[in-house]
A and B are shown apart, each in its own frame.
Chain A
């Protein structure tokens, strides 16, 4: 199986503080990798590295064999996108928000694709509504539609259902999983909720204080954890 990302000895420092310190991590093509851990563990920073929004202070990130540097071709960078915890919609209509990725790519608006995604996420009736008037769940579904309409090779999720109700959580997880199965989208989902990782991830990793403590197939991660930190985290102890 080929790797979408390979990280080796990656460190990310903010002034003196080392936020990410990963000796080695592979993200396999077409998998859903769940990353769990307490807040402040460096999970969001890791996603920013994977989305090329930051470059590591040390070490190497490669994306599909190419080193992830500022010189990485734009077309490759555009294969990756993130849905953050806050949907960050533009002060425009719902449909215009979903269209923004296509406009950025200059590929011209593909209204059919936009309509299709709005429909799949139960937003068809809200297409012309101002995005600012939506509920939290609706807004996050718009953010997901906006990400998926450009058919990314890699979808990064940063606590995408952090403060949503079970209905919206279920809907978003369904769409992510079905897009992964249908198109082979590689997904890295950061969550502080281990149950979410268990529901959607093929593999799960635990991150604490910037380090990847343990990465394993989701089933064995939960049923047969190897490291004491993982056991403690899954038991619900406070780890940091």
Chain B
């Protein structure tokens, strides 16, 4: 208990001083998380909306269970596969992305993508099925119907964004394997926490943990405000 209290005090002091190493780690964490999130959203929202809107898409019976499985992928397994693909002997080895932020972004995107697709699909399916008919009756084209329905499900889609963000900012296994936790290059908050804990630097580990929680909370605060503005609970 005493260790914890001391570590907490030291952690606050470290935060107060905000040294440049800490800044670098926080910066890279945000960069990797946000870029991966952005890619997952750009790819995942349209696919999720298409799956939610069309009941008779060919291959749907196979794709939907696949997406559901993807929503529960063990990150460390994603890390392993990404590692093998990006390694020198792997099919994408020539990219030279192993142990770089680019490789970490690839792994994080793979983790976030099924979450975005699955939850967007569920959100769109949650819209009253008579609404698209009403929109069409008002003269909308197929594309306009899809867009209006997607906008109508925006509270659920925001939940998809929240879930994807939460899963990748807190993820450690995949970024550890693919990034390698190299100081000043691929070290992010989660991998740094693992390292500092192993080294017995509990104060630093705790400080990093507090920052991670604060980042997650601040971002979710913003997401929630967005939801409320959209007429959510």
Whether A90 and B130, one on each chain, are in contact in the complex, defined by CB atoms closer than 8 angstroms, is no
The residue from B130, B137, B152, B231 contacting A51, defined by CB atoms under 8 A apart? B137
**Known contacts A84-B130, A88-B130: A100-B138 contact under CB 8 Å:** yes
Partner of A101, one of B130, B138, B141: B138
Chain A CB within 10 A, most for which of B133, B155, B230:
B133
Distance in angstroms between the alpha carbons of A120 and B70 in the assembled complex = 53
Is B185 an interface position by the 8 A CB rule?
A: no
Q: Is B136 an interface residue (CB 8 A)?
A: yes
For residues 151 through 174 of chain A, which have their beta carbon under 8 Å from a beta carbon of chain B?
156
Are B230 and A91 in contact, with the CB atoms below 8 A?
yes
Residue of B nearest to A152 (CB): B139
A38-54 vs B, Cβ < 8 Å mask (1 yes, 0 no) = 00000000001001010
Chain A residues with CB under 8 A of B220: none
Known: A104-B144, A130-B231, A132-B231. A90 touches B137 (CB 8 A): no
Nearest-neighbor residue (CB-CB) of B231 within chain A: A91
Q: Which of B137, B148, B155 touches A81 (beta carbons < 8 Å)?
A: B137
With A77-B139, A81-B139 as given contacts, are A53 and B148 in contact (CB-CB < 8 Å)? no
Question: Inside 8 A of B141's CB, which chain A residues have their CB?
Answer: 74
Whether B134 contacts A91 by the Cβ 8 Å rule is no
With CB as the reference atom, state the residue of chain A lying closest to B230.
A91
Is there a chain B Cβ closer than 8 Å to A105's Cβ? yes
Asked whether any CB of chain A lies closer than 8 Å to the CB of B131, the reply is yes
Complex: chain B residue closest to A130, CB-CB: B231
Partner of B138, one of A74, A132, A146: A146
Per-residue contact bits, chain B 125-145, to A (CB 8 Å; 1 contact, 0 not): 000101101111111110010
CA A104 to CA B148, docked complex, whole Å: 10
B139 touches A78 (CB 8 A): yes
* Chain A interface residue bracket vs B: 20 to 34
Give A85-112 as 1s and 0s: 1 = Cβ < 8 Å from B's Cβ atoms. 0101011100000001100110000000
A92 to B152 alpha-carbon distance, docked (Å): 9
| A150 adjacent to B136 (CB under 8 Å) | no
Does A88 lie within 8 Å of B134, measured CB to CB? yes
**Could you say which interface size class chain B belongs to?**
10 to 19
Q: How far is the CA of A91 from the CA of B152 in the complex (A)?
A: 6
Query: Closest CB-CB distance, B17 to chain A, in whole Å?
Result: 47
Which residues in B have their C-beta under 8 angstroms from that of A100? 135, 138, 148
B147 to chain A, nearest CB (A): 10
A132 vs B134: C-alpha distance in the bound complex, in angstroms? 16
Residue of B nearest to A146 (CB): B138
Q: In the complex, what residue of chain A is closest to B131 when comparing beta carbons?
A: A88
A82 beta carbon closer than 8 Å to chain B = yes
- Near A by CB (< 8 A), chain B positions 131-177 give 131, 133-141, 144, 148, 152, 155
- The distance from the CB of B107 to the nearest CB of chain A, in whole angstroms, is 36
A86 to B128, CA, bound (A): 11
Please tell me if the beta carbons of B148 and A90 are within 8 angstroms of each other in the complex: yes
Q: Give Cα A53–Cα B128 distance, bound, in whole angstroms.
A: 17
Distance between Cα atoms of A150 and B231 in the complex (Å): 26
Query: In whole angstroms, how far apart are the Cα atoms of A156 and B155 in the complex?
Result: 32
State whether B137 touches A53 (Cβ < 8 A). Answer: yes
Among the listed B137, B155, B231, which residue makes an inter-chain contact with A82, where contact means beta carbons less than 8 Å apart? B137
Separation of A84 and B144 alpha carbons in the complex (Å): 20
Interface centre among B135, B136, B138, B141 (most CB of A within 10 A): B138
Instruction: Report A56-99 residues with CB < 8 Å from chain B CB.
Output: 74, 77-78, 81-82, 84, 86, 88, 90-92
Interface positions of A (Cβ within 8 A of B): 48, 51, 53, 74, 77-78, 81-82, 84, 86, 88, 90-92, 100-101, 104-105, 130, 132, 146-147, 150, 156
Given contacts A53-B136, A104-B139, 10 further A-B contacts (CB under 8 A): A82-B134, A84-B134, A84-B137, A91-B231, A92-B231, A100-B135, A101-B138, A104-B135, A150-B139, A156-B137
- Give 22 A-B contacts (CB < 8 Å), ordered by A residue: A48-B133, A51-B137, A53-B133, A74-B139, A77-B139, A78-B139, A81-B139, A82-B137, A84-B134, A88-B131, A90-B131, A91-B231, A100-B148, A101-B138, A104-B135, A104-B138, A104-B140, A104-B144, A105-B139, A147-B138, A150-B138, A150-B139
